[in-house]
């Protein structure tokens, strides 16, 4: 469960990005630094698998890039919120090819975000984060749930639960990408 650390005043995303790395996993939520528990290895394994599947597709279809490792995504301003997306996809239309900025967050959100649900995550909080991403302009948010081996795809059309051999596809974002949901859990 996330806990807020004490703060004298609200931070901006830029100020948050300049904080020294003290080894804690954090996000900025409405200007306050919130400590997050370190995920278990299975969480990381699923994140790497998702990133691998998308990256492999992008090698054949160079239309964008995939990032991971809780890279910061600004989802709200005044006060600022910076979330750590487990895996995200940016098209080259949104972020041109070439090196990503080293010392600043992007001014645009990704088109696609994957959040891998951790054992301590309550659905209410997960759905709140999903809505935050969607409100910020992310087109599709996928919540990957390891215990049930299901993916819930959130977009403008609602929520679409998928599992097993159901095809995970994003025809508007990644035309031609298709993998059975079970592959995310291998």
The pLDDT tens digits for 111-147 are 999 999 988 888 999 999 999 999 999 999 999 999 9
Q: Where are the domains of the chain?
A: 38-185
pLDDT tens for 148-167 read: 999 999 999 999 999 999 99
Report the pLDDT value the prediction gives residue 108, as an integer from 0 to 100: 97
Residue 107 C-alpha from the chain's centroid = 15
Report the pLDDT value the prediction gives residue 1, as an integer from 0 to 100: 46
Is the pLDDT at 3 greater than 80, yes or no?
Answer: no
Per-residue pLDDT averaged across 14-20, rounded?
94
Residues 39, 30: Cα–Cα separation, whole Å:
22
Look over the chain and give the mean of its residue pLDDT values, rounded to a whole number: 93
Instruction: Give the position of tokens 């997960």.
Output: 126
Please answer whether residues 139 and 111 qualify as being in contact, where contact means their C-beta atoms are separated by less than 8 angstroms: yes
Partners of 32 in beta bridges? 29
Q: pLDDT-based confidence at 8, cuts 50/70/90?
A: low
Q: CATH code for 38-185? A: 3.90.1570.10
Per-residue pLDDT averaged across 67-95, rounded?
96
Please answer whether residues 142 and 174 qualify as being in contact, where contact means their C-beta atoms are separated by less than 8 angstroms: no
Percentage of the chain beyond pLDDT 90 is: 85
Report the pLDDT value the prediction gives residue 86, as an integer from 0 to 100: 96
Per-residue pLDDT averaged across 82-89, rounded?
97
DSSP SS3 for 163: strand
Which residues, in sequence order, are CB contacts of 163 under 8 Å at separation 6+?
148, 149, 150, 151, 181, 182
Concatenating the DSSP letter of every residue in 6-36 gives P-SSPPPHHHHHTS---S-EEEEETTEEEEE
Please answer whether residues 38 and 63 qualify as being in contact, where contact means their C-beta atoms are separated by less than 8 angstroms: no
DSSP SS3 for 39: coil
Please answer whether residues 127 and 142 qualify as being in contact, where contact means their C-beta atoms are separated by less than 8 angstroms: no
């Amino acid at each position: 469960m996330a806990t807020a650390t004490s703060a004298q005043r609200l931070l901006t995303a830029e100020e948050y990005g300049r904080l020294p790395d003290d080894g804690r996993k954090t996000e900025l939520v409405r200007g306050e630094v919130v400590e997050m528990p370190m995920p278990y290895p299975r969480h990381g394994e699923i994140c790497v698998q998702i990133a691998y599947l998308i990256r492999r597709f992008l090698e054949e279809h160079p239309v964008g890039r995939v990032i991971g490792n809780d890279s910061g995504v600004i989802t709200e301003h005044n006060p600022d919120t910076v979330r750590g997306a487990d895996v995200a996809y940016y098209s080259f239309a949104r972020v041109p090819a070439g090196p990503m900025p080293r010392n600043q967050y992007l001014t645009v959100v990704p088109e696609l975000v994957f959040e891998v649900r951790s054992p301590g995550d309550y659905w209410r909080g997960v759905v709140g984060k999903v809505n935050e991403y969607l409100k910020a302009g992310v087109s599709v948010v996928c919540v990957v749930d390891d215990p049930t081996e299901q993916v819930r795809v959130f977009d403008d059309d609602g929520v679409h639960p998928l599992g097993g051999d159901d095809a995970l596809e994003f025809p508007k974002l990644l035309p031609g990408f298709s993998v059975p949901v079970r592959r995310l859990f291998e």
